[in-house]
Structure 1
Amino acid sequence: MSRKSIFFSGVTAVSATLAALQPRVHAAPPAPASASTRPNILLVMSDDMGFSDIGCYGGKIRTPTLDRLAGNGLRFTQFYNGARCCPTRASLLTGLYPHQAGVGLMVNPRGDLPGYRGQLVDGCLTIAEMLRPAGYATYAVGKWHIAPSTPDARANWPLQRGFDRFYGTLAGAGSYYDPATLCRGNTFITPENDPEYKPARFYYTDAIADNAVRFLREHARDQAASPGQPARPFFMYVAFTAAHWPMHALPEDIARYKGRYDAGFEAVRAERHRRVRELGLIPPSTRLGPSAQNWADIPDADKAWEARCMEVYAAMIDRMDQGIARIVAQLEADGQLGNTLILFLQDNGACAETLGMGRGTPRASNPKRTRDGRPMRTRHGVMPGPDDTYIAYGPGWANVSNTPFREYKHWVHEGGISTPLIAHWPGGIRQNLGGTLVHAPGHIIDIAATCRDLAGAAYPDRRDGAFVLPLEGISLRPAFSGEIPRRTSPLCWEHEGNRAIRDGKWKLVAKGPKGAWELYDMETDRSELDDLASRHPDIARRLAADWEAWALRAKVKPWPWDDQPIHTPAKKKNSKNT
């Protein structure tokens, strides 16, 4: 099968094939599409992963399920998230920019500024709130993290935001063996006292997948128990925490990657760069910027530890793909795969944070002990993976994960905001488009608009008396038939003072509220290595003015940075890319 691409000018066949991907498994025959058939929608999100980690986006981490979905569906090459977990999730679920939804930063409010409430505002709707009145069953599994876990924020927990059932964590990160703020519905639980899920070995990635499978199985059971009634479609939001720190993985998964990363940062990054170009995900001329860290500068005594960090990271992603496989298998068993739109994406770029990797005293905010009383190990040289460790994988490997792009989570250069988007829907994506690359830019604000469109759901102008802002995104439905989604407004970003605007091929971007604007041509320089601001000052000024107008409209400004510290890059020796 030839790989195909949807460019700005249309659909073009190219000669390269998907043979480099995992062996393709054919899906069930497509369900017949009709005007009366509305798709189920399964929205899957991973956490803190880079653009080129999964196999079908250039990595060599084992992801056969995602590769299968991509081979039978679409891959978007210029899809964007919101640079950080909370803003992305708020934007994804509401179809608004994060500040409009009230989550311009994290779940900590900044004064009375409407864009920084730290939880969803009344004037927005989640996808579940849009689709449930249209007859959809709604399920959420995994990480929520768009409201505090305190009782006073209960109005913005999943069940109060349109979901019929919820299993997952309200907070953003925690142990995979004993996650904090774990809930079933509105009730806090632990792996030990949950009466409904008792695996022989608890691991949160497995728990997310297993509970998603359970919800699907029970949905199918309920449908079978109501013969003669119209079929009730479902919307399911599955938010994995993989591969967010801490680097926790199961021994059998870690063993699969033993020795895979001994060659170091530059060698693995160069191999990914080659594969990303061969797969057509970026133009062949796209250059690779300097490495964030040099493997030669890592002391020999530390190389095994550094490699282990990446081995565990890879194992976490591998385990997530195994869980997605079980979810897809349940859809097949229920006869629903053909009429289910599956979307997979990531909440931000790879994470360069160095939590738990230092040589000094561990951060006081880290958990100090496991549930059974063992001290938590958070220091340089601790081999990650077991439940008594709590560390990240660092900027060197994050730079690899984001190949070929600059920067990371937090920033709005391409490494911080570029995500894979896989769309799989046998009954709704034109059959001859399997394996197609969609190069037209897209954004998380488009997901809610797409779901509403496909569900035929109304979009009310009020919620509990509060005026609801109109959706900012566009429906991606045209891409499912080989057409180009038409966008009439530029795409914009702001996070922690980092700013960007994308209009056609041009991207204007800056680091920090006082950073200088940089201008890049995304058609020739997706890696953002050749700043054209001084050569095209008229374009830079126009885009800067457009960004300022958006910032005022979208509640980005006023912003709280005048008297609050913002995230700053970790300073690393020989780092040219942080």
Structure 2
Amino acid sequence: MNKKPNIVLILNDDMGYSDIGCYGGEVETPNLDRLAANGLRFSQFYNTARCSPSRASLLTGLHPHQTGIGVLTYSFGPEGYAGNLNDQCVTIPEALKTNGYRNYMSGKWHVAGNLTEPTASWPLQRGFDEFFGTIIGAGSFYDPNTLTRGNENIEHEAQHDKSFFYTDAISDQAADYIRQHAQQHPDQPFFEYVAYTAPHWPLHAHDEDIARYKGRFDAGWDALREARLQRLVDAGILDKAWALTERDPTQPAWTQAEHKEWLLRCMEVYAAQIDRMDQGIGRILDALEETGQLDNTLVIFMSDNGACAEDIPVGVPVEELVNNLMIARSHTRDGAEVRFGNKPDIMPGPEDTYQSYGTAWANLSNTPFRLYKHWIHEGGISTPLIFHWPQGIGEKGGVRHTPGYLPDIMATILDISATAYPQQRDGKAVPPLEGQALTAVFNGDIAERAPMFWEHEGNAAVRIGDWKLVRKYPDPWELYDMASDRTETRDLAAQYPERVADMRARYDDWAARCGVIPREKILELMRAQPAAFWEEEEA
């Protein structure tokens, strides 16, 4: 057995805080629940509110603006917003490679500007020894764009295999890498990054998985939000003193909602997407057990942002989605025309549909918090975080309340593997790590941690201790005491103007140091971009 631990880092896409079973949800996730029951769950861990920035921060231990991914992988102009992982940062696999690790990736990359030609920002060029997955950030689960092995496009494999489903392909390749490594490199530790696209739209799932959730959500989003919060409190994850936020004011009460059959089907398909992912995680765990590596492997699971309230609007030009953004196919593999848009007369799930589950269900997914992907309020950045490592974490089923965020993951991985953080990359100095290792909380919560900072699309926050200063752009700054009001229902900014001023100054210093560009300037640049229409719709 290697003394150095293996690491399996699992990231899923656009999933809310309370969807999976071990975080109070109705979705059946026995494999994630098993990891939680035999490891640790974190109650206050944060992502960066959006796909590409979260991935860039996770992979580098820096803030996304420092890596070249300020918004998404479309160029919005100046340094920090180039939409391309730059050469001034070091990735986890690049660092681990210096310590004898082999590195594998299966799944969504989404930190490279060039989607079709290999560049210095593609996985093999950023430390991975093997890669299978997609370069783009979204698309059909049956026939994904930019499907790649190594540096070679292999879209034809999905197009000629009618059983292909991207979630399964990610899982099976990840399990195969583990078995392959055990046979070919038994004396080396490994790092594996498994990046699912589930449950990101479009709503694609198998009939048998969807059927499992028939009736599961019939009580509607209002009753289910209350039930989820109670389960989270009962599990010791959330404080019973924290109030459930009000239903999103743009959404009706469940009793007043129209098209209930279609609405329920949307949530059933969404749940089926997560269920299918969990099934695949089970196969990954099986591979670790079969090769005798589970006990000395740190398995980490989290989501890249909060639940997604984005609508798939009727009338978006198909050629924009297919040709410019490359996040859809115009036709199925059998030649049928794909039906785009959240139309209640089209039931989601099959390959010829392209829909999302909408604001009200996203509000349920983020129970008990408010707001969603894009925003820095708790609903946008709160993620489940599970750590499972039998040889390194003694407690089984523990809950940790110490706050943490994405830059901490690289710091933790380097710490447990005794890997030095490189000071240079290709002769160029790199910024120091922005995170702190979470190994300090393996044995129990700690009293204090360094301040945490966020910015995305002008939405911003700083958290210092129990105080969080947060802004929904372009609205004023709000102040919350997270110890008594983590659900952000009582804005205390007017009561504590000096604290607001101090925290704002701390935020401004961080933003200047890390290259955050004012949102007003970015909007000017976006208006000149071909993709601006779609990105503005998402915002």
**TM above 0.5:** yes
Separation in 1 of the partners of 2:461 and 2:537? Answer: 18
Separation in 1 of the partners of 2:57 and 2:98? Answer: 21
TM-score where L is the length of structure 1: 0.87
Shift of 1:116: 0.7
| Partner of residue 462, structure 2 | 501
Separation in 2 of the partners of 1:499 and 1:482? Answer: 30
- The residue correspondences of 1:94-133 to structure 2 (distance < 5 A) are 94-111=60-77, 113-133=78-98
| Partner of residue 46, structure 1 | 12
Separation in 2 of the partners of 1:419 and 1:317? Answer: 15
Q: Is the CA contact 1:262–1:304 (under 8 Å) kept in the aligned structure 2? A: no
Residue 402 (structure 1) aligned with residue 366 (structure 2): yes
Separation in 1 of the partners of 2:5 and 2:483? Answer: 34
- Stretch deviating more after TM superposition (54-63 or 267-276): 267-276
Residue 211 (structure 1) aligned with residue 211 (structure 2): no
How many residues were matched structurally?
519
Separation in 2 of the partners of 1:160 and 1:421? Answer: 28
Separation in 1 of the partners of 2:316 and 2:455? Answer: 33
Query: Which one of the candidate residues 349, 367, 371 is aligned to 1:385?
Result: 349
Residue 365 (structure 1) aligned with residue 299 (structure 2): no
Shift of 1:371: 2.6
Q: Percent identity?
A: 53
Shift of 1:537: 1.0
Structure 1 stretches lacking a partner, 5+ long: 1-30, 225-230, 571-577
Residue 159 (structure 1) aligned with residue 124 (structure 2): yes
Q: Secondary structure at the match of 1:533?
A: coil
Q: Secondary structure at the match of 1:351?
A: coil
1:212-254 Cα shifts (integer Å, max 9, x gaps): 0111110011135xxxxxx200000000000000000001100
Shift of 1:460: 2.0
Separation in 1 of the partners of 2:442 and 2:193? Answer: 21
1:330 and 1:191, CA in 2 relative to 1: closer, same or farther beyond 3 A?
farther
Q: Is the CA contact 1:73–1:435 (under 8 Å) kept in the aligned structure 2? A: yes
| Partner of residue 492, structure 1 | 453
Q: Is the CA contact 2:26–2:216 (under 8 Å) kept in the aligned structure 1? A: no
1:312-365 Cα shifts (integer Å, max 9, x gaps): 000000000000000001100100000000000000000000115x4x576553
Q: Is the CA contact 1:533–1:540 (under 8 Å) kept in the aligned structure 2? A: yes
Shift of 1:150: 3.6
1:120-147 Cα shifts (integer Å, max 9, x gaps): 1211000000001100010011000001
| Partner of residue 236, structure 1 | 192
Shift of 1:276: 1.3
| Partner of residue 43, structure 2 | 77
Separation in 2 of the partners of 1:363 and 1:525? Answer: 44
- Stretch deviating more after TM superposition (167-176 or 183-192): 183-192
Structure 2 stretches lacking a partner, 5+ long: 322-328
| Partner of residue 295, structure 1 | 254
1:68-95 Cα shifts (integer Å, max 9, x gaps): 1001100000000000000000000000
Residue 312 (structure 1) aligned with residue 269 (structure 2): yes
Q: Is the CA contact 1:147–1:153 (under 8 Å) kept in the aligned structure 2? A: no
| Partner of residue 557, structure 1 | 517
1:246-269 Cα shifts (integer Å, max 9, x gaps): 000001100000121122211111
Q: Secondary structure at the match of 2:419?
A: coil
Q: Could you tell me which amino acid in structure 2 is paired with residue 57 of structure 1?
A: Y
| Partner of residue 67, structure 1 | 33
Q: Could you tell me which amino acid in structure 2 is paired with residue 471 of structure 1?
A: L
| Partner of residue 325, structure 1 | 282
Separation in 1 of the partners of 2:9 and 2:103? Answer: 11
Query: Which one of the candidate residues 212, 222, 225 is aligned to 1:256?
Result: 212
- The residue correspondences of 1:354-503 to structure 2 (distance < 5 A) are 354-356=311-313, 358=314, 364-366=319-321, 367-379=329-341, 380-381=343-344, 382-430=346-394, 433-482=395-444, 484=446, 487=449, 489-503=450-464
- The residue correspondences of 1:328-347 to structure 2 (distance < 5 A) are 328-347=285-304
Residue 523 (structure 1) aligned with residue 475 (structure 2): no
Q: Is the CA contact 2:118–2:151 (under 8 Å) kept in the aligned structure 1? A: no
Separation in 1 of the partners of 2:117 and 2:318? Answer: 28
Q: Is the CA contact 1:479–1:485 (under 8 Å) kept in the aligned structure 2? A: no
- The residue correspondences of 1:565-576 to structure 2 (distance < 5 A) are none
Q: Could you tell me which amino acid in structure 2 is paired with residue 518 of structure 1?
A: E
1:149-188 Cα shifts (integer Å, max 9, x gaps): 4456611000000000000000000000001100000000
Shift of 1:378: 1.9
Q: Secondary structure at the match of 1:134?
A: coil
Separation in 2 of the partners of 1:219 and 1:361? Answer: 45
Q: Secondary structure at the match of 1:484?
A: coil
Separation in 2 of the partners of 1:193 and 1:423? Answer: 33
| Partner of residue 510, structure 1 | 471
Shift of 1:486: 5.3
1:187 and 1:344, CA in 2 relative to 1: closer, same or farther beyond 3 A?
same
Separation in 1 of the partners of 2:256 and 2:427? Answer: 60
1:353 and 1:483, CA in 2 relative to 1: closer, same or farther beyond 3 A?
closer
Separation in 2 of the partners of 1:371 and 1:149? Answer: 25
Q: Is the CA contact 1:149–1:171 (under 8 Å) kept in the aligned structure 2? A: no
Shift of 1:471: 0.4
TM-score where L is the length of structure 2: 0.93
1:37-65 Cα shifts (integer Å, max 9, x gaps): 11000000000000000000010100000
Q: Is the CA contact 2:459–2:471 (under 8 Å) kept in the aligned structure 1? A: yes
| Partner of residue 220, structure 1 | 182
| Partner of residue 169, structure 1 | 134
Separation in 1 of the partners of 2:19 and 2:220? Answer: 16
1:544 and 1:328, CA in 2 relative to 1: closer, same or farther beyond 3 A?
same
Separation in 1 of the partners of 2:410 and 2:175? Answer: 23
Q: Is the CA contact 2:318–2:330 (under 8 Å) kept in the aligned structure 1? A: no
Q: Is the CA contact 2:448–2:465 (under 8 Å) kept in the aligned structure 1? A: no
Q: Could you tell me which amino acid in structure 1 is paired with residue 302 of structure 2?
A: L
Shift of 1:517: 0.3
1:470-513 Cα shifts (integer Å, max 9, x gaps): 100001112223353852x310100001010111000000111x
Across the aligned residues of Structure 1 and Structure 2, the Cα RMSD in angstroms comes to: 1.9
1:418 and 1:569, CA in 2 relative to 1: closer, same or farther beyond 3 A?
farther
Q: Secondary structure at the match of 2:57?
A: helix
Q: Could you tell me which amino acid in structure 1 is paired with residue 184 of structure 2?
A: D
Shift of 1:206: 0.3
Residue 181 (structure 1) aligned with residue 146 (structure 2): yes
